[in-house]
Structure 1
Amino acid sequence: MAQERFVEVYSQGVTNVRKIVVDAQTGVNYLLMSSSMTGGSGITVLVDADGKPLVTPLGEGDQVAFGQLLDRE
C-alpha cells in the first residue's frame, strides 16, 4: 500500500476541532479547523514569524507518523 500523502500529526477538540497535517511529500504543515456549531471548516498553511511555511524536514525515505512530535528548530 502506498504511503498516505497527508498525515495527521496533531488533533485537539471534539466540537471545535483543530488538526495539524503534514504533506508527506513536501513536509509542509497545514492547520485544519472545523466547527460543528456553524458547519464551517478551513485550512491554512502554518507559517513561522517571518511568514515562511513551517516545513517538517523529511530525509529520503522518511515517513511522518501519526502523533510524531515535529522539531521546529
Structure 2
Amino acid sequence: MSKNDRFEVLYQETGLKSEKAIFADKETGVNYLFIADGFGGGLTPLLDAEGKAVITK
C-alpha cells in the first residue's frame, strides 16, 4: 500500500473559507475529523459517546 492509499475520505463538505472532512485509516480503521477555517485547522480522532475511537471495518 502506497502512502497515498492509506486514508479514505468518508465525508467532505467545503465552503468558501472552510472545509470539514472525515477520513478513515485503512490500516487501523480509526476515523479522523478534519476541520479547516481560514488560516487555521485541526485533525483529531473521531470519538463516540463513550469516548472511544470510531472505527470503520
Q: TM-score, normalised by structure 1?
A: 0.68
Identical aligned residues as a percent? 38
Task: Answer 1 or 2: higher relative contact order, Cα 8 Å, separation at least 6.
Answer: 1
Determine which of 26, 33, 36 is the counterpart of 1:24: 26
Instruction: Tell me by how many angstroms 1:8 deviates.
Output: 1.0
In proportion to residue count, which structure has more strand? Answer: 2
In proportion to residue count, which structure has more helix? Answer: 2
Point out 4+ residue stretches in structure 1 off by more than 6 angstroms: none
**Structure 2 portions without partners, runs of 5+:** none
Instruction: Tell me by how many angstroms 1:34 deviates.
Output: 0.4
**Structure 1 portions without partners, runs of 5+:** 58-73
Larger Rg, first or second structure (1 or 2): 1
Q: 1:2-13 to 2 correspondence within 5 Å? A: 2=2, 4-13=5-14
